[in-house]
Structure 1
Amino acid sequence: MDENIGSDLQQEWLEIHDRHENVILRILEENRVLHDKVEQLESEKFTLQKAFSKLRQEVEDSESAKRDLQSKLASLTHREEEIVLTLLDGDGYIFDRTLLCKGESGGREAAQILTNGIMRYIAKQPDRPSQVVLWTMWFLSREKLEATLVRSGVCSQEQFRYFMKGFSSAHPLFSVVDVSDGKEAADAKIREHLRKFIKHRSFYRVILGVDHDNGYDVAISAEMTNGYANRMVLLRAHSNIARQIEALQLGSMSIDDLFLVDGLGPGPSSVVLPQRDPWSSFKTRAYASPVMEKRKSVYGSPPSPIDTLASWRRDKAPTRDPAPCHAFYLTKRCCDKDCPYGHDYELSEQELQKLTQWARAQPCSYATEGERCPRLDCIYGHKCSRGSDCPFRWNGTCKFTGPDSHD
């Protein structure tokens, strides 16, 4: 009996032990499963945190880009502090006699009149910037212009020098630039300044005081082709605008009472120039006279004589004595005051063709130096017409001596 009781107790204990063991195993299994889930969740949490961090950085970058765009848009809208550059050719833009005679105070007054005129023009523009910085450069050959003004009785040497001082000191960015005495020295400076600055976005406008000189048409036309036509403004100061400049149809402005419009008027001991185009008559003797030299020093290169053909002498003689000036007839201007050739003929089409052929037989100085000629209307030859077979090339007597003249 006792043995049966002990056996039952032992069996019951084993069953209880098994149940406990199963419970423990089940708990351990569930714990393992939960542990795996925790690890998975931790991994997902890390991935989500990384994605969130990346997303937050992208949002911050987007906000930064948005702020930059807003800033740029605001700057484009308000156009704060942009530059208006004015380039004046002193060979043709002569300040008014009243201003010149006032000396230093006249220079300051001229600067103020110029400033007021430019600001009035800018105020009318729909895309005007909120702030404008004026920068003005007046290019001139001081000695030549000074001598011309004194000889013509416009002002004294002292008045002109003080005028320049007053003009340049009236504004920190107003300058008088004394160029060399060479031909078209001011032209070269102005063309280069235009080329350098027109492309920069900080320059709102470039105002050009060059309406008297056809020599600027190529440089201006090139920048118009480059897409900068709306940035250039012609400052009109003469009643007769150079034909090729006027043909460009640039936007323009004018300022009253600032420049002499039709030459040097009457004054004490002055030479009175006629109130018309000073280059409308080209008699040979007058062309080399002191009066004509004065006109050239003030007006620069003469405009096209096409409009003045009616005033030329008709000469049907088969020979010309002196010979026609090729520079005058083919380029519409001649800058040599002592030119010995004729300027008052009306040449036939055949004579003009012969003159053109003769000019083409003369080497261009740029080609001779191995440089590219900058003039689209150059009348001289850039290569020898005989090419590589030129017999004069080998004995050194060919006029075309440039490195590529016989290619």
Structure 2
Amino acid sequence: MPTPTNSDTQPTMKDIQKLSRMVKYLQEQVKLLKESHRPCRVITLIDGDGYVFQYERIVLGRYGGRQAAEDLAEGIRGFLNIGPHRSHIAWVFLNQCGMMRTLHKAGQNMAAENLGDFMLGFNEGAPGFIMADTGGVKEAADAKIKVLLEKEISCPQTEFLVFAGCHDAGYVHDLRRSIFEGFREKIILLQAHENQVQAIADLDLQTIHIGGLFLPHKIRTVEPPSSPAPSVFSTTSSLPDVDDPSDFPEGFSSGSVPQRSHAVGDYSAAARRGSLCSVTSEMSGDNSSAYSYRSNRGIPTRTPLEKDVLSSLCKVHYLSRIGCLLHNCPKVHDYPLNDEADLRDLREFALEAPCWDVNNERGYSRGSTCIYGHKCPRFANCSLARAGKCPFKGKKMHAPYY
């Protein structure tokens, strides 16, 4: 076997060029790999059950949702001093049905009815923005946010993570773990409420506040009593003294007026109406009788239903011919309306909400059976319409004067 010479072991020029090309290729691959792992995106996580957008925004439906998404993105970009081309992904998780129920209890029925459209508008406001319904499972939104927090905070591509859950001490453990793993500089707290949970405030993280976007406090609800208040006619002591002749107008005698025992039976229907009005009086903080007396003759004058009661009632159930078809309707279906005047109050209240078909210029598909408003109640005097914020958006919904 021949022994190799030095000329055989020396690399040729061709071998050197081949190795150079390979080194250059590997250097380019390393550069691409570093570039792909460079922090380049912003993640925003919002607990929508605690961070509630302003009522005025929700009432505007899709338009309000788009504006909310744009204002959220602009506020975060301004704080981080980054351009609009930086990748920004935002998740908002909430229980939609539960939020609608809470808004109705707070008397914000317009916001409750437009919540679905608001969510659609938010999703349309930016490509990476998602507002999702987590259903009625308890703390479902919290669980999803915690999973995404753990995943996104450790991702090399995540430059900043904006966390909106300062109202809930249940997130403290997850935030502490992220800080312990070395991601303190990535985390930015988005504050909505006036006061943070003290345990989260003690973490001493960067904090951003975007004014006019979220409610600065928890939703204040007014819970109706579980059972009707006692009727104002339930005892004889609540009735006027019809036996005293001095209480009668001139020309009347005690014989021309029914006795007390007959009066109790005659007012049985009114007693039920009094029970309904007692609830509204109790909700408004008024401990006086729900019925006032026009004179000493015992003729009651009706007190209109309070707005809090009207907001909690299902208008479709009470007013439409087919009734409510929702399986889990968040509104009240079993409230006692025993007076045509109560129904009239509810009809007038329903007209304050725009008809979806007319508002979207789809004609009068429900005809005369529609219970919602086809005209803005303020007509030409609507300042919201001039500002472009009136929920009545149809072309002729402010006609003939506007």
TM-score normalized with structure 2 length: 0.50
- Please identify the structure whose Cα radius of gyration is greater: 1
TM-score normalized with structure 1 length: 0.49
